Amino acid sequence: MAVTFRQRFGGWKLLSNAVKENLDEMPDLAAAQAELESHIAEAEALANRQAALKAELQMTVRLRREAETKGQDLRRRLAAKVQSHLGFKSERLHEFGILPQRRRRPEPKEPAPSPTPAPAAPSNPTKP
Q: What is the pLDDT of residues 48-77, one digit of tens each?
A: 999 999 999 999 999 999 999 999 999 999
What is the arithmetic mean of pLDDT over 116-127? 65
3-state secondary structure labels for all residues of the chain: CCCCHHHHHHHHHHHHHHHHHCCCCCHHHHHHHHHHHHHHHHHHHHHHHHHHHHHHHHHHHHHHHHHHHHHHHHHHHHHHHHHHHHCCCCHHHHHHCCCCCCCCCCCCCCCCCCCCCCCCCCCCCCCC
Q: Which of 3-7, 15-19, 54-58, 67-71 has the lowest mean pLDDT?
A: 3-7
